[in-house]
Structure 1
Amino acid sequence: MTTLTLEDRITGSLVGAAVGDALGGPVEGYTPEQITERHGGRVTGIVGPWHADDWRTARPIAPYHKGDGHVTDDTLMTHALVRVYATVRDHLDAYAAADHLVPELIARPVWIPELEAEALPLQRIFLAEKWLVARLHYGHVDPREAGTGNIVNCGAAMYMAPVGLVNAAHPAAAYAEAVDLAGAHQSSYGREAAGVFAAAVAAACVPGATAASVVDAALALAKDGTRAAIEAVAEAADGHTDFESALRPLRAAVAPFDTVGPDYRAPSLGARRPSRLHSIEELPVALGMLLVGRGDFRRSVLGAVNYGRDCDSIATMAGAIAGALHGESAVPAGWAKQIAEASRLDLHAPADVLAGVAREVFARDTARRRAHEAAFARLTGA
């Protein structure tokens, strides 16, 4: 049995997240039935825009070229966070979001695949992510509290895979760091989901980890409605080995915890408000599809894609965890190559950078731990 290296797991996770994102983007917001009708069956790979050549005008609020292998804001934010780690080269907190992530969004043009142009990430990210700029750059709010008042969604969770990878094999540390960092962006169960997703990615890096052990690690740390939702979805996933039969049961299991309601494009009046009783939909479903697919990348990600609704983020999360479990070889090379070319992104460069940072941070943690041990020994006379 070959032991995967840290580098292989980080590459698998970041490339896997981007692949899931690009596959889910063109069918985001629709039901499984609508997806089947539009594409003549389930999505099994890269597809074109939902509205074909009318993608610029069909939805004026989102004039984006989703499809054809283009990644979305999930990947743009993930790569921005990797660049923050490359600058700080240590653990991050809410102040790092203010000092480093916001400048990445408003001062560093990058290629935006869905706009087919070089632009600031700010010009692509959605309103819940623009909140970071409004609150931190213009409002000068305390970064630890800046997430309060934002809509509660998966906005912070969707790009937290790097936190789990820097804390590889240490889910509790990943959870704590992500909860701190996400305080600048989200509150309530949105912030909680960021912590639990990072923990799941870290747990996937443990040698010998499985889909079941990842979910167990997530449940050990999750709180309130997020924990209850993951439990319900995991129970619903039990016994299913094919996403086709699991689509309805997983949706039914997460529905009591999801505030958006049955029509994703017309959210309920109580949608996305803080609550200890609720959960975002994306993370529990991603974990559920991971269980249904037994951790297999293709099966887990395609299950997430064909689930519909916010499926680009669901598939991003499923892809990040499955990629960390099995390394880059688990991610279909043809998909990764086509997506990298279509999106004009080097999907491997961020992984190379983050692997180096992870090793540096571990060395710093080791030195800090030893200094603490020595001080405590003197303190106690041991």
Structure 2
Amino acid sequence: MNDLLDKMTGAVVGAAVGDALGGATETYLPDEIRERWGGWVEGVVEPYHPDWRTRKPTAPFHKGDGHVTDDTLMNRMLVEVYCDKRDHLDAYDVAERLVPRLLTQKVWVPELETETVLLQRLALAEKYLSLRLHWAHADPREAGVGNAVNCGAAMYAAPIGLVNAADPDGAYAEAIEVAGAHQSSFGREAAGVMAAAAATAMVPGASAQDVVATALRLAQDGTRAAIEAVAEAAGRQDHWTDAIATGAVRDAVRPFDLVAEGYRDRGLAAHRPSRLHSIEELPVALGFLLIADGEWESTVLGAVNYGRDSDSIATMGGALAGALGGSAAVRADLAETVATASRMDLAAPARDLAAVTVEIRRRDAERRAGVERAFAGLLDDGGPAAAAAPSAPRATTGGGAG
């Protein structure tokens, strides 16, 4: 297995397994999680509520038991879009290639235990994609304006970073373009930073510190401030259990997070655009990545036991740690359990995306070579020295002051 495929496999499988583990603890707080399972969650566990079918009638999702959530299903669908276009994506591809799949393509949805269109599983902020792009025919480049600002675009931005492996600036730009069809404000910004972080994690020999340094270099406004605060707090933690027990990571991100402390209680400011705030998920995922020094299991378990939007945090952290460590980073027993429970080949998207990425990047190189040849032609007549030479003074007429 070459390094590209190995790292992509680590990222894709690492994200899916993290998602499945985090799904069981989603929306709950650390104390609730430990009370429910009698301690830290360190693997696949049963649902928080055994009567999950009737516990939440409006959202009867079978979380836990190794089931991946919408995070993984959206990541897989974006990979399909790359494989369909076989080139870089933009906002129009979301409208013309992704949304039609959400509406018409049946997939196995583990949390619903049925095959159906993915739109049936998505949360309202993700269903907004279809409202704006399919029914309202909004301009794809600005269709995300007006949506609830959340982690919806960032949660499936990792494949953009994988396609742009080792090019975080390119990944950031592409993700910002793609996410404009889904999100605005700090939700869109988080998608760009997540993609850039994934592109850096794909660099041979990269570290967790390198990933966070890239995030800090590219992030803007509240997103940058939140990552900086969480990274500083993470640097003082020895283990993810300490970070959760002391509340250090939550304390660091709290000033930038508009979601209520109880998580399930939404205040009036939640999900509104702001240059001062950030989604919670990405900074926290990066924080646990730093505490774990890039090791996959500790990164993911920190996210799982943090609770709140734990499946998305573990998806992001799992993708980044998986890319850093490659396919061997993810515990084989966990991957096998999740694959069986979710009825899917977790590594298949990585194999498809690696092949398409090679094709895309070769075409990129050809395009770039053409650009450089054309630019060189601009310098042929006289070269740079002639271009820099001072011109003769312009003649003047009349007796003015000049």
Contact residue 255 and residue 261 of structure 1 kept, 8 A: no
How many equivalent pairs are there?
379
Specify the alignment match of 2:285 in structure 1: 286
Q: TM-score, normalised by structure 2?
A: 0.93
SS at match of 1:78: helix
Q: Distance in 2 between matches of 1:154 and 1:57?
A: 27
Q: Distance in 1 between matches of 2:46 and 2:22?
A: 11
Q: Which amino acid aligns with 1:13?
A: A
- 2:143 is the counterpart of 1:146: yes
Specify the alignment match of 2:4 in structure 1: 6
Specify the alignment match of 2:323 in structure 1: 324
Superposed displacement of residue 91, structure 1: 0.4
Matches within 5 A, 1:42-61: 42-52=40-50, 54-61=51-58
Specify the alignment match of 1:352 in structure 2: 351
1:160-203 alpha-carbon deviations (Å, 9 max, x no partner): 11000000011110000000000000000000000000000000
Q: Which amino acid aligns with 2:81?
A: V
Matches within 5 A, 1:178-327: 178-247=175-244, 248-327=247-326
In the alignment, structure 1 segments of 5+ residues that lack a partner are none
Q: Distance in 2 between matches of 1:61 and 1:152?
A: 22
1:195-224 alpha-carbon deviations (Å, 9 max, x no partner): 000000000011111001100011110000
SS at match of 1:255: helix
Q: Distance in 1 between matches of 2:255 and 2:365?
A: 43
Superposed displacement of residue 62, structure 1: 1.6
Q: Distance in 1 between matches of 2:376 and 2:251?
A: 54
- 2:112 is the counterpart of 1:119: no
1:254-288 alpha-carbon deviations (Å, 9 max, x no partner): 00000002110002110010000000000000000
Matches within 5 A, 1:59-70: 59-70=56-67
CA radius of gyration, larger in: 2
Q: Distance in 2 between matches of 1:359 and 1:41?
A: 45
Q: Which amino acid aligns with 1:346?
A: D
Q: Distance in 1 between matches of 2:56 and 2:291?
A: 33
Pick aligned residue for 1:130 from 127, 131, 134: 127
Specify the alignment match of 1:376 in structure 2: 375
Q: Distance in 2 between matches of 1:4 and 1:179?
A: 29
Superposed displacement of residue 4, structure 1: 6.4
Specify the alignment match of 2:31 in structure 1: 33
Superposed displacement of residue 129, structure 1: 0.6
Contact residue 4 and residue 327 of structure 1 kept, 8 A: no
Contact residue 14 and residue 351 of structure 1 kept, 8 A: yes
Superposed displacement of residue 61, structure 1: 2.6
1:15-58 alpha-carbon deviations (Å, 9 max, x no partner): 00000000000110011000000000010000011101x10111
1:280-309 alpha-carbon deviations (Å, 9 max, x no partner): 000000000000011000001000100000
Q: Distance in 2 between matches of 1:253 and 1:61?
A: 33
SS at match of 1:144: helix
Q: Which amino acid aligns with 1:269?
A: L
Q: Distance in 1 between matches of 2:208 and 2:58?
A: 37
RMSD of equivalent CA atoms: 0.9
Q: Which amino acid aligns with 2:16?
A: A
- 2:327 is the counterpart of 1:335: no
Q: TM-score, normalised by structure 1?
A: 0.98
Q: Distance in 1 between matches of 2:213 and 2:377?
A: 38
SS at match of 2:115: strand
Q: Distance in 2 between matches of 1:341 and 1:241?
A: 34
Q: Distance in 1 between matches of 2:331 and 2:266?
A: 35
Contact residue 17 and residue 316 of structure 1 kept, 8 A: yes
Q: Distance in 1 between matches of 2:299 and 2:86?
A: 32
Q: Which amino acid aligns with 1:115?
A: L
Moved more, 241-250 or 297-306: 241-250
Q: Which amino acid aligns with 1:25?
A: G
Q: Distance in 2 between matches of 1:375 and 1:354?
A: 31
SS at match of 2:142: coil
Q: Which amino acid aligns with 1:271?
A: A
In the alignment, structure 2 segments of 5+ residues that lack a partner are 384-402
Q: Distance in 1 between matches of 2:293 and 2:335?
A: 21
Superposed displacement of residue 244, structure 1: 1.2
Percent of residue pairs bearing the same amino acid type = 63
